[in-house]
């Protein structure tokens, strides 16, 4: 059982690429953002709690997110691998994932860091607001999400750099171009 992590700033295309990657290789795609949005729609207590954090562009408390991941990993027997999208986002989450993975005999194979220039990303997110109407893609919230990303999430990369699991992908260009870069990287991992 292998775990791949799609990592990067808001709007880098993590969701799009993580989904394609999971589909292509038969892995389970796990997006904490999507799971949280489903909890909100279902009107659960967890959704109620998460909603305000998300609407303001803040992180949902670690305990809640880790509980969601724990639940998802219970399905492990059915899948040859997992693709995490938007998780982990804090040191605490990264440490918990290491623990859970070790307990379950799972290995974190690679962290795919999607790298792109911030001004282009902000434009992309504002466009998404028009198309999808996501409640956290407004200008003030986007700014806060970038601040939080730099303060709490970006430093998590060092965790994986130290473990030699980090690979940077140029996330600019078309969806197909980025997909091809990721595929080339995956081929290398297989050959490792
Ligand atoms: P995303 O769909 O990945 O952009 O996530 C949307 C929002 O969901 C984030 O801005 C956070 O408020 C929340 N969220 C998603 N994943 C996490 C996580 N791993 N830790 C904390 N909050 C999260």
* Cα–Cα separations (whole angstroms), residue 141 to 10, 64, 73, 172: 11, 21, 30, 23
Q: Ligand 1, atom 8: nearest CA belongs to which residue?
A: 33
Separation of 123 CA from ligand 1 center, angstroms? 19
Calculate mean pLDDT across residues 120-127: 90
Separation of 191 CA from ligand 1 center, angstroms? 33
Q: H or E element: which one contains 110? A: strand 107-115
- Quick: pLDDT tens for 9-44: 999 999 999 999 999 999 999 999 999 999 999 999
Residues with CB under 6 A from ligand 1: 10, 32-33, 36, 53-54, 57-60, 65, 86-87, 89, 93, 136, 145
- Quick: pLDDT tens for 74-95: 766 678 899 999 999 999 999 9
pLDDT score for 128 = 87
pLDDT score for 79 = 86
Calculate mean pLDDT across residues 151-161: 96
In angstroms, rounded to a whole number, what is the distance separating the alpha carbons of residues 59 and 37? 13
For residues 56 and 141, the answer to whether their CB atoms sit within 8 Å is: yes
Which one of 35, 36, 144 would you pick to mutate in the ligand 1 pocket, going by the greatest count of ligand atoms within 8 A of its CB? 36
Q: pLDDT over 70 for what percent of the chain? A: 97
Query: What is the CATH architecture of 2-191?
Result: 3-Layer(aba) Sandwich (3.40)
Q: H or E element: which one contains 4? A: strand 2-7
Q: Which atom of ligand 1 is nearest to the CA of 148?
A: 10
Q: pLDDT over 90 for what percent of the chain? A: 76
In angstroms, rounded to a whole number, what is the distance separating the alpha carbons of residues 14 and 1? 21
pLDDT greater than 80 at residue 98 = yes
pLDDT greater than 80 at residue 190 = no
Q: Ligand 1, atom 12: nearest CA belongs to which residue?
A: 54
Separation of 132 CA from ligand 1 center, angstroms? 16
The structure tokens 């623990």 sit at 99
Assigned token pair, 152: 């709490």
Separation of 87 CA from ligand 1 center, angstroms? 8
Return the axis-axis angle of helices 62-73 and 32-42, rounded to nearest 10°: 100
Q: Ligand 1, atom 1: nearest CA belongs to which residue?
A: 33
Separation of 192 CA from ligand 1 center, angstroms? 32
How many Cα atoms are found within 13 Å in the side-chain-facing hemisphere of 185?
21
Confidence of residue 96 (pLDDT cuts 50, 70, 90): very high
Domain boundary assignment for the chain:
2-191
pLDDT score for 113 = 97
In angstroms, rounded to a whole number, what is the distance separating the alpha carbons of residues 122 and 147? 12
Sign of CA dihedral 147, 113, 59, 95: negative
pLDDT score for 63 = 96
pLDDT score for 143 = 92
């Amino acid at each position: 059982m292998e775990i791949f992590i799609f990592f990067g700033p808001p709007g880098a295309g993590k969701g799009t690429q993580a989904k394609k990657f999971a589909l292509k290789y038969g892995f389970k795609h796990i997006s904490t953002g999507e799971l949280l949005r489903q909890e909100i729609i279902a009107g659960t207590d967890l959704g109620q709690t998460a909603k305000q954090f998300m609407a303001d562009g803040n992180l949902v408390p670690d305990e809640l997110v880790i509980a969601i991941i724990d639940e998802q990993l219970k399905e492990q027997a059915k899948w040859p691998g997992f693709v995490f999208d938007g998780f982990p986002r804090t040191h605490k989450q990264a440490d918990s994932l290491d623990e859970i993975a070790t307990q379950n005999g799972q290995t974190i194979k690679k962290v795919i860091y999607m790298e792109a220039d911030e001004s282009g990303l902000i434009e992309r997110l504002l466009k998404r607001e028009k198309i999808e109407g996501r409640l956290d893609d407004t200008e003030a919230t986007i700014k806060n999400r970038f601040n939080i990303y730099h303060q709490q999430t970006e430093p998590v990369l060092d965790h994986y750099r130290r473990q030699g699991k980090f690979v940077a992908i140029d996330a600019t260009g078309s969806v197909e171009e980025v997909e091809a870069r990721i595929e080339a990287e995956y081929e290398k991992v297989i050959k490792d």
